[in-house]
Structure 1
Amino acid sequence: MTRSVLLDSALLAPALDEARQLPRRRKNLNLHTSSEAPAQRFFNAMEPNSYVRPHRHLDAGKEETLLVVRGSVGVFEFDDDGAVIRAARLSAAGDAFGLHVPLGVWHSLVALEPGTVFLEVKGGPYVPFSPGDFAPWAPAEGDPAAAAFIAALRSRLD
C-alpha cells in the first residue's frame, strides 16, 4: 500500500545530521522517487559554511522555486559580470520565505543559520550541471577562495 509522507521534523532529522558531517555541508532529501521524475521535489539541509557556486539554468522547465522551512538563507542574483543585483534574506519565520528563479538568472544562496532547510522544486528529469551552467567569475567548489566569496555575499545582507 502506498502512503503519504508526513513532512515533519522527524523526516528532516537524518538529512540535517548528514549535512553537519558531510564535506559539502549539505544534504538533499528527495521526495521524488526517481531522477527521471517529471517534477524534482526535495528538501536541502544546509549549514552556513556550505558553498553553492553561482549558476543558472537554461533548459526549459528548469526554473527553480525555493521555500525556506527551517532557519534562514541569503539569496543572491548576479548580472553577467558577477555584480550582485539582488541580495535578500529569506526566513521560515519571516515575511520573505521563498524565491522563484526564472531561466537564465545567475544565482546562489548561503545558509545563515545552522540547521537551515529549504524545499526546492523544479522540472525533471534531473540533468547534471554542465561547466557552462556555472558562473565563470565565481570560485569553483573546493577552491580556497570560496570562503572569502561567501563572506563577501553575507556582507551584502548586513
Structure 2
Amino acid sequence: MAIALQPNSYIQAHKHENPDKRELFTIYQGELVIITYKENGDLLSKYHLTPKTLRTIELRPRIYHSLIAIKPDTVVFEMKDGPWESVEKDKTFAPWMPSEDSPEAEEYFNTLKERLGL
C-alpha cells in the first residue's frame, strides 16, 4: 500500500500481533523517520529513511512503531504479512500515546518531534 504523508501527519504508535505481522517500508519520495518503542513507551530506535540513504526497513511483529514525515509529500510503500484484516483487528494501538483524533494529539506530536530533534 502506498502512503503519502505530510510533516504534520500524526500516526499513533501501534503494533501488529493478532496474528503476528512483519512490516516492510520502502521510501520513494521525501524523508521519513520510523520510531520504534518499548512496551512502556520508551523510545527503542529511530530510523531515518530517504531514497538515497536508508531506503527500506523491515519491522518484526509485536513492535510498537510510528512514522513521521520530514519533508512534504513523502511517499512510502508499506507491505505486511497477510491475511488482510480490518484496522480494529489488525492494529493494537499504544495506550500511552493519544489517538489520532484526540485533542491531545497535536501537543503530544509536537513534543515528540522536539524530543527527536525533528
TM-score tier after normalising by the smaller chain length: 0.7 to 0.9
Q: Work out the CA distance in 1 between the residues paired with 2:24 and 2:7.
A: 20
Aligned pair partner of 1:88 in 21, 39, 47: 47
Residue 81 of structure 2 corresponds to residue 137 of structure 1: no
Q: Work out the CA distance in 1 between the residues paired with 2:100 and 2:67.
A: 14
Residue 67 of structure 2 corresponds to residue 104 of structure 1: no
Tell me which structure has the larger Cα radius of gyration. 1
Q: Deviations over 1:99-143 (max 9, x none)?
A: 211110000011111110001111223212338700000001111
Where in structure 2 are there 5+ consecutive unaligned residues? none
- Identity among equivalent positions (%) equals 28
Aligned pair partner of 2:4 in 33, 36, 45: 45
Highest RCO, 1 vs 2 (Cα 8 Å, sep ≥ 6):
2
Q: Work out the CA distance in 2 between the residues paired with 1:150 and 1:91.
A: 21
Higher strand share: 2
C-alpha contact 1:106 1:135 (8 A) present in aligned 2: yes
Q: Work out the CA distance in 2 between the residues paired with 1:67 and 1:60.
A: 22
Aligned pair partner of 1:153 in 105, 112, 115: 112
State the TM-score, normalizing by the size of structure 1. Answer: 0.67
Q: Work out the CA distance in 2 between the residues paired with 1:77 and 1:68.
A: 17
